[in-house]
């Protein structure tokens, strides 16, 4: 690896754009071997996750290459965060459209710059990859690696009746940002639009929080499919049900203002997805510890509901301020 | 993971087709968590490789799903073999064309059956994945994991002047098989065609050999880009040059017969690629040990040339029976 057949001089572009991204990973052998070596410290396990992104499905085709690089890595880092893992490295596969090789080269240059910036932010390194050509859409796959103490990983399956439900940060901004990009929200001030779009394009994986939740959280997931759908995943894995109080859901001032203007935005907030906040359950006796952690990490942690015993239907109930069940327009996020 | 948005009921198809493939991997958590856990035994390192395959680029669009599954895994297992690693597990990402969801379902069913058969042959397990939709071509990515004793991995970079060059099995069959599928070779008997096509569709990763080459081989690579190109990779990584004697290259009786009929087939044999045999260098004092290993593994190991000191140009010289340099029509394999 990496093998490469995309019409460009692949070995050359790998040398120029991707080998420099491996400089902090001796086990990548500067991409000059068939595979990479990952060492795992004694007492730790490796955590692995993979995500594929397709142009026109997971990002708009005119998205800046740097933003695609950021989202691709951050989506994977969010999965590692929700397992409580320390991120370490990743492999990258790219299927480049056959079209114009100089356009591909310009795109790759910006994409690799974006990856480099992200590597510096998150302290991770490329360790391997593959570059191929495609007659279809630009397609990217990252497999990301982290580590956790043996037995210390966070799971979806430990929620028990009586637990409280918490979420980090604010929900809905990313989905509202996407809706704004698609022209479905008008009249936004420039700063408001920029904020929402940035939350859509560059989610913040909550790794620092995830790594501190061992011993505190009983179940954890990252909000990628939307609050309602991801809470349902926790309920399924744990064999419980959940009730969420809509009025408790943490919103940014901009999301709050949009919701005040038009109640239909609630759907984006509850089911929009792509928030990449951590949603977790914990015993209420850990509330004080979580409040301290929130201050320490400078990250809001908000209690939004509670866990009950298993129910046959309606695993997740979302109640409005009148105690009435909110019906979602769709059960979860469907990408555009 | 796995997140899934391909028009089908993704959670349902993951449950039906992919969760059963994780039954021997407790760290996969039956695909119900955000990431998988890989344990690595003390004293061993993890080896990781990744390969992406695109319909119409890496396989003909009418290839049977079972054959695609086999090739996808075996190509990755061959990379692990060339590092001397014991294969353990893999993640899989699939971008499914949006088209017809019942066609996708039928395809996935056969593809998963193929994966299951391969898992049984090679003793590996699915540990995670992602399923997405694409407006373009079916695209598959596997990231495969193996393990080696710490410091025991085979590399491309250890060849020294005076070493002999060896290759396992026979070369050229896969490229001739592809040429036959494309209609470029006529008059083949049914059995001969079947043999060549099978070598193209279902390469045999040489894991048993790779795991025995530690301490014997000075450099190792798998023949994916073609003998000439892959030997050049070894020369570049090792800072040496190489001479190959064409008459020594091991050929199957069918490839031999085709070459006798038409000398132009030599190009497929030297530069066709996709052989997935192991190409390696070793001191001549290890020849006897390699001969014994060949008998033990029931796998031909053939000496085809020797390594010399570095040369500025022409890192790899291929000599015909008259001692004349063979000029290749192309430097390496270009996929159709």
Given pLDDT bands bounded at 50, 70 and 90, which one contains residue B172? Answer: very high
Classify residue B307: in a domain, yes or no. yes
Answer yes or no: do A87 and A124 share one domain: yes
Domain CATH for A215: 3.90.650.10
Q: What is the pLDDT of residue A329?
A: 58
User: Within this chain, do residues A121 and A208 fall inside the same structural domain, yes or no?
Assistant: no
- Are B219 and B101 members of one domain? no
Question: Percent of chain B, pLDDT > 70?
Answer: 95
Same domain, B180 and B129: no
CA gap A112, A128 in Å, rounded: 14
- Asked whether residue A84 is domain-assigned, the answer is yes
- If you average pLDDT over residues B282-288, what whole number do you get? 96
Q: Is B106 on the interface with A (CB under 8 A)?
A: no
Residue B159 included in any domain: no
Give me the pLDDT at residue B330, please. 47
Tell me, yes or no, whether A70 and A179 share the same domain: no
Which of B254, B198, B226, B179 is closest to B74 using CA atoms? B198
What is the interface pTM, i.e. ipTM, of the complex?
Answer: 0.91
A49, A134, A150 member nearest B57 (Cβ): A134
Task: Nearest by CB to A35, from B40, B48, B141: name it.
Answer: B48
Q: Does B7 score more than 60 pLDDT?
A: no
Residue A31 lies in a domain: yes
Residues A77 and A123 in one domain: yes
Which of A118, A149, A180 is the last residue in one of the domains? A149
Query: Token pair of B71, please?
Result: 């090739």
A309 touches chain B (CB under 8 A): no
Instruction: Give the one of A35, A42, A57 whose C-beta lies nearest to B49's C-beta.
Output: A35
Q: What is the pLDDT of residue B8?
A: 54
At B129 the pLDDT is 95
Residues A169 and A277 in one domain: yes
In a domain, A64, yes or no: yes
pTM for the complete prediction? Answer: 0.92
B335 pLDDT higher than 90: no
Q: Is the pLDDT of residue B184 over 70?
A: yes
Q: How confident is the model at residue B329 (pLDDT cuts 50, 70, 90)?
A: low
Residues (pLDDT < 50) of chain A are 1-7, 330-336
Residue B314 has pLDDT above 90, yes or no: no
Where in chain A does DSSP place strands (E)? 4-5, 36-38, 44-54, 86-97, 125-134, 139-149, 164-168, 217-222, 241-245, 278-282, 301-308, 316-319
> Residue A216 falls within a domain, yes or no?
yes
Same domain, B32 and B102: yes
Rounded mean pLDDT of chain B? 92
Do B140 and B211 share a structural domain?
no
A37 and B224 within 8 Å at the Cβ level: the answer is no
Does the pLDDT value for residue B273 go beyond 70? yes
**Chain centre to alpha carbon of residue B67:** 14
Q: Which stretches of chain B are assigned E, i.e. beta strand? A: 4-5, 36-38, 44-54, 86-97, 125-134, 139-149, 164-168, 217-222, 241-245, 278-282, 301-308, 316-319
State how far the Cα of B221 lies from the Cα of B293, in Å rounded to an integer.
Answer: 18
pLDDT, residue A102, reads 75
Higher local confidence (pLDDT), B267 or A330: B267
Residue B2 is predicted with a pLDDT of 37
Task: Report the domain count for chain B.
Answer: 2
Last residue of a domain, one of A88, A116, A149: A149
CA dist., res. B172 & res. B274, Å (int): 8
Angle, helices A65-82/A101-122, rounded to nearest 10 degrees: 40
Residue numbers of the domain that contains B8: 4-149
The answer to whether the Cβ–Cβ distance between A137 and B134 falls below 8 Å is: yes
Q: Are residues B199 and B296 in the same domain?
A: yes
Contacts of A8 in chain B (CB under 8 A): none
Q: Provide the greatest CA pair distance for chain B.
A: 64
Nearest to B5 by CA among A54, A286, A228, A212: A54
CA gyration radius for chain B? 21
Domain ends where: A114, A149, A184? A149
Residue at A249 is within a domain: yes
Q: Are residues B302 and B194 part of one domain? A: yes
Q: What is the arithmetic mean of pLDDT over B179-199?
A: 94
Q: Is the domain of B313 the same as that of B171?
A: yes
CATH number at residue B49: 3.30.1330.10
Q: Does A13 fall in a domain?
A: yes
Residue A254, Cβ neighbours under 10 Å: how many?
Answer: 21
Question: Judging by DSSP bridges, how do beta strands B36-38 and A44-54 pair with one another?
Answer: antiparallel
- Check A49 against B128: CB less than 8 A apart: yes
């Amino acid at each position: 690896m990496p093998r490469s057949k995309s019409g460009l001089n692949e070995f050359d572009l790998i040398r120029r754009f991707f080998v420099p991204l491996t400089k902090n990973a001796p086990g990548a052998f500067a991409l000059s071997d068939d595979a990479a070596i990952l060492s795992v410290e004694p007492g730790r396990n490796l955590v692995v996750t993979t995500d594929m992104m397709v142009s026109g499905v997971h990002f708009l085709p005119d998205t800046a290459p740097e933003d695609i690089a950021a989202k691709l890595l951050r989506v994977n880092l969010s999965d590692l965060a929700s397992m409580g893992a320390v991120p370490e490295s990743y492999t990258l596969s790219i299927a480049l459209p056959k079209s114009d090789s100089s356009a591909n080269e310009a795109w790759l240059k910006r994409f690799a710059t974006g990856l480099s910036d992200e590597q510096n932010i998150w302290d991770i390194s490329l360790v391997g990859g593959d570059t191929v050509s495609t007659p279809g859409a630009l397609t990217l796959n990252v497999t990301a690696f982290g580590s956790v103490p043996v037995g210390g990983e966070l799971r979806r399956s430990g929620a028990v009746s009586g637990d409280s439900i918490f979420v980090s940060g604010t929900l809905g901004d990313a989905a509202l940002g996407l809706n704004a990009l698609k022209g479905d929200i008008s009249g936004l001030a420039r700063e408001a639009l920029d904020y929402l779009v940035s939350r859509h394009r560059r989610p913040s994986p909550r790794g620092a929080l995830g790594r501190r939740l061992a011993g505190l959280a009983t179940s954890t997931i990252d909000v990628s499919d939307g609050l309602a759908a991801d809470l349902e995943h926790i309920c399924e894995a744990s064999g419980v049900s959940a009730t969420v109080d809509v009025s408790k859901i943490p919103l940014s001032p901009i999301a709050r203002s949009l919701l005040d203007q038009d109640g239909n935005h609630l759907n984006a907030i509850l089911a929009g997805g792509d928030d990449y906040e951590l949603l977790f359950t914990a015993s209420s006796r850990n509330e004080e510890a979580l409040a301290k952690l929130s201050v320490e990490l400078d990250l809001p942690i908000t209690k939004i509901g509670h866990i009950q015993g298993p129910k046959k239907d309606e695993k997740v109930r979302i109640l409005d301020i009148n105690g009435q069940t909110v019906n979602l327009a769709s059960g979860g996020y469907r990408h555009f």
